[in-house]
Amino acid sequence: MDAVPILKLGSTLLVSIQIDLQDQTALQLQEDLAERITQTGARGVLIDISGLEIVDSFIGRMLSSIAGISRVLDATTVVVGMRPAVAITMVELGLSLDGVRTALDVEKGLRMLRPADTTSPEALLLGLDADRA
């Protein structure tokens, strides 16, 4: 069972799911993220699902759980990169991803999590300091 890597960028945790998730791997990711949020004091969690070919009820529930867990640990979750066919299927299946914020891509997601400090790594990555100059 492969674990999903969690990267840290400033006060944001980045996760890009590039494998076909087994249920156990999804549960492990949920636990690992909760652990990393408390360890690092992260304020944002960005989850890129552009590599996912499907979001079924189990993965949908995992995304909602991660958003809920982050919220009570004082962090905001944004899910980005959902494929159009996945969005259509998920809605028809009846999944609403309650409480999950979404953005079209990583850049827009990072902007939603934009920290106030323009010298933060996230802001530098987005060129926000250049916007101001």
Partner 1 sequence: MTAVEPDTAQRLPITTDGDVVRVRQAVRALAQGARLSLVDQTKLVTAASELARNTLIYGGGGEAVLSELADGRRTGVRVEFRDDGPGIPDLDQAMTDGWTSGSGLGLGLSGARRLVEQFAIDTAPGAGTRVTIASWSR
Q: Which residues bind partner 1 (CB under 8 A)?
A: 1, 20-24, 53-58, 60-61, 83-86, 88-90, 92-95
Minimal distance, residue 106 CB to partner 1, in Å:
22
Minimal distance, residue 100 CB to partner 1, in Å:
14
Minimal distance, residue 90 CB to partner 1, in Å:
8
Place of tokens 């939603």: 112
Shorter beta-carbon distance to partner 1: residue 64 or 102: 64
Shorter beta-carbon distance to partner 1: residue 83 or 101: 83
> CB–CB of 33/70 below 8 Å?
yes
Shorter beta-carbon distance to partner 1: residue 98 or 129: 98
> CB–CB of 66/78 below 8 Å?
no
Shorter beta-carbon distance to partner 1: residue 6 or 21: 21
CB-based contacts of 5, cutoff 8 Å, min separation 6: 15, 16
> CB–CB of 61/21 below 8 Å?
no
CB-based contacts of 109, cutoff 8 Å, min separation 6: 46, 48, 78, 79, 80, 103
Minimal distance, residue 24 CB to partner 1, in Å:
5
